[in-house]
């Protein structure tokens, strides 16, 4: 049996950054569902949170899990669930693109706190500013 600890910080937005998740109660339902559904699929979601137009998810990947498949399962199923339950007036969709960056053991608490404090964080910084910061910090613009 392999012993693996590979943490990935995922960030993705709603389609066209539409603020579909515009109330806290809905967001809590969605984050809870993502965590529970992932657990049912053998995906360990350490922490999940977000804001009106995006989601942050800290995941520990298993030996046979890929970044692409994990995102496909989480995003695809959660958007299906949101639409099935008619939580939004319009058809809910997640954006195709996403960020995925590795997180070292020593940074886990810092990343958890960052994800946990999304409401407060976005009272000071827009998702576009956060997006640009991620692009620069992780040098995604030069890929």
Q: What angle do CA 41, 97, 48 make, to 5 degrees?
A: 45
Question: Considering the chain, what is the average pLDDT of its residues?
Answer: 95
**What superfamily would CATH give domain 6-135?**
Transposase IS200-like (3.30.70.1290)
- Mean pLDDT in residue range 117-132: 93
Checking if the pLDDT of 100 tops 70, the result is yes
Whole-angstrom Cα Rg for the chain: 15
Of 71, 19, 54, the C-alpha closest to 131 is 54
State residue 20 phi and psi, 5-degree precision: -60, -35
pLDDT, one tens digit per residue, over 52-92 is 999 999 999 999 999 999 999 999 999 999 999 999 999 99
pLDDT score of 54: 98
Report the C-alpha gap between 133 and 125 in whole angstroms. 10
Residue spans per domain, the chain: 6-135
Q: How far is CA 2 from the centre of its chain?
A: 26
**CB-based contacts of 125, cutoff 8 Å, min separation 6:** 133
- SS3 state of residue 99: strand
């Amino acid at each position: 049996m392999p012993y693996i600890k590979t943490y990935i910080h995922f960030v993705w937005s709603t389609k066209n950054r539409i603020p579909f998740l515009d109330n806290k109660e809905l967001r809590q339902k969605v984050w809870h569902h993502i965590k529970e559904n992932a657990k049912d699929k053998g995906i360990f979601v350490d922490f999940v949170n977000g804001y009106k137009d995006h989601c942050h998810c800290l995941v520990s990947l298993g030996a046979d899990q890929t970044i692409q498949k994990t995102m496909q399962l989480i995003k695809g199923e959660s958007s299906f669930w949101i639409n099935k339950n008619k939580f939004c007036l319009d058809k809910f969709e997640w954006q195709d693109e996403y960020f995925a960056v590795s997180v070292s053991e020593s940074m886990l608490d810092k990343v958890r706190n960052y994800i946990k404090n999304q409401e407060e964080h976005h009272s000071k910084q827009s998702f576009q500013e956060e997006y640009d910061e991620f692009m620069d910090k992780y040098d995604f613009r030069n890929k």
